Amino acid sequence: MKAPKYVVCVDNKDFEVSLELRKIYEVIEDTLADAHGQLRVIDESGEDYLYPSELFVAIDIPASLRARLSDAA
């Protein structure tokens, strides 16, 4: 199983209800979305949706924190 990828929301214009600025979001791998400049993230509804990739910045998370984030989900 591939380790989850995480991003930080840096722009939530037009998505204020679904995305919080400066919040860490888990990315669900979706090669078709990637090809269209989008990311599939688990948003504030608890479901995964597609968003423009420019709304986020990818971050590296230490393995110990990744494990804790996975346990919290």
pLDDT tens-digit profile of 3-36? 568 999 999 999 999 999 999 999 999 999 999 9
pLDDT band at 57 (very low <50, low <70, confident <90, very high): very high
Half-sphere exposure of 35 (CA within 13 A, CB side): 3
Residues with Cβ < 8 Å from 64, sequence gap 6 or more?
A: none
pLDDT for residue 72:
67
pLDDT band at 1 (very low <50, low <70, confident <90, very high): very low
Please tell me the distance from the alpha carbon of residue 39 to that of residue 12, in angstroms, as a whole number. 14
pLDDT for residue 61:
87
Is a pLDDT exceeding 90 seen at residue 73?
Answer: no
pLDDT for residue 54:
96
